[in-house]
Amino acid sequence: MLSATNKKISSVLLVGGTHGNELTGIHLVKQSQKEMLGENYESFSLDYLIANESAIKANQRYIDVDLNRCFKLADLNDSTLTGKESKLAKSINQKFGPKGNSKTDFIIDLHTSTANMQTNIVITRTDLFHLQLASYLKQVLPDVTVTSEAELMEDHHFLESIAPNGVLIEIGPIPQGCIEYACYEKTQSATRACLDFIELFNIDSLPSFTDTLNTQSYYSKIHFPTDDNDDICASVHPSLIGKAYPKLNKGDPIFKRFDGADILYDGEPTILAFINEAAYYDKKIAMCLCNPINFSLISASKNK
């Protein structure tokens, strides 16, 4: 019995370079293609995509708009969107989708962060298949945190959403525009674990899982303090720099102003993620807030 869905995964797409200055995925996809990684798996075909060549050449996250926000079905069908990434999204959707009737069954999209996100597995669906995938990754990799973004939007804007199944892998900390082997190796391990899971799923040989999957769910973000000129006037507090998903309680220092004064947190207890992510400075976002959410694999199974 195929335990989560009756549909076997026949085609997988491995994507790097959705963000042009996140080098790890780009080089991993090229190396995987060179090594013919797909030949290790019998039950599905593996294809490769370097997503945003123009942004990679410019060593920027994107040229016009963030490509990984361009895959809402509504936007893919909107002929008035003609920016560089909007057009690119449509052509990727034609080649590997189209969303809703996709030739690709599963997409793995590789990302990095300047924040200490460890091995962050982002899922955008919480059916039994994806919950089992996330549980499997937690079983076989030492430092996995699972983030569910399924709740955030129905018509999702991620590249991986053009296939009916997929995952986004985000490893950090690493500066933009840099490669570090430790980060490369973590990305490689997570990629291979995903492919292993798909193979096991296809041949009906998944291991047993615990009943509950612990995830983190984003519910808000905190912006940098600004001055009268709307300039950032404080940094994330040094006590939080480099921390992976720390707890923050009322009264804890959260920012250090450039004049040296501490700013204390005044909200409800929370867990922090994406602390000091370089890509979020343009929106003056200093960190994201999340809460633990536990999914039951038993009830997901019953819900099928």
* Chain residues in the site for a copy of itself (CB under 8 A): 23, 27-28, 30-31, 34-35, 59-60, 114, 173-182, 184, 227, 231-233, 235-238, 241, 256, 258-259, 276, 278-279, 281-282
Residue 251 contacts residue 264 (beta carbons within 8 Å): yes
Give the position of tokens 């920016």: 83
Of 4 and 183, which has the nearer Cβ to a copy of itself? 183
Q: How far apart are the C-alpha atoms of 151 and 148, rounded to whole Å?
A: 7
Q: Residue 283 CB, nearest distance to a copy of itself (Å)?
A: 12
The answer to whether the bond into 98 is cis (omega within 30° of 0) is yes
Three-state DSSP class for residue 51: coil
Q: Give the nearer residue to a copy of itself in terms of CB position, either 60 or 139.
A: 60
Closest distance of CB 257 from a copy of itself, Å: 9
Least distance (Å) from a copy of itself to the CB of residue 57?
A: 10
Reduced to 3 states (helix: H, G, I; strand: E, B; else coil), residue 213 is strand
HEC letters along 154-187:
CCCCCHHHHCCEEEEEEEECCCCCCCCHHHHHHH
| Least distance to a copy of itself, CB of residue 181, Å | 4
Instruction: Report CA-CA distances (Å) from 269 to 114, 289, 290.
Output: 24, 10, 10
**Residue 192: CB partners within 8 Å, gap ≥ 6?**
37
**Residue among 178 and 203 whose Cβ is closer to a copy of itself:** 178
For residue 203, give every residue at least 6 positions away whose Cβ sits within 8 Å of its Cβ, in sequence order, or none.
43
Helix, strand counts (H, E) of the chain: 7, 13
Q: Tell me the closest approach of the beta carbon of residue 175 to a copy of itself, in angstroms.
A: 3
Nearer to a copy of itself, 165 or 176 (CB): 176
Contact 171, 90 (CB under 8 A): no
CB closer to a copy of itself, 4 vs 15: 15
CB of 180 to a copy of itself, least distance (A): 6
Instruction: Work out how close the CB of 19 gets to a copy of itself at its nearest, in angstroms, rounded to a whole number.
Output: 13
Judged by beta carbon, residue 35 or residue 268, the one nearer a copy of itself is 35
CB 235, min distance to a copy of itself, A: 4
For the record, the structure tokens of 66 come out as 């963030």
H/E segment holding residue 270: strand 270-273
> Is the Cβ of residue 116 or residue 217 nearer to a copy of itself in the bound state?
116
Q: Nearer to a copy of itself by C-beta: 27 or 95?
A: 27
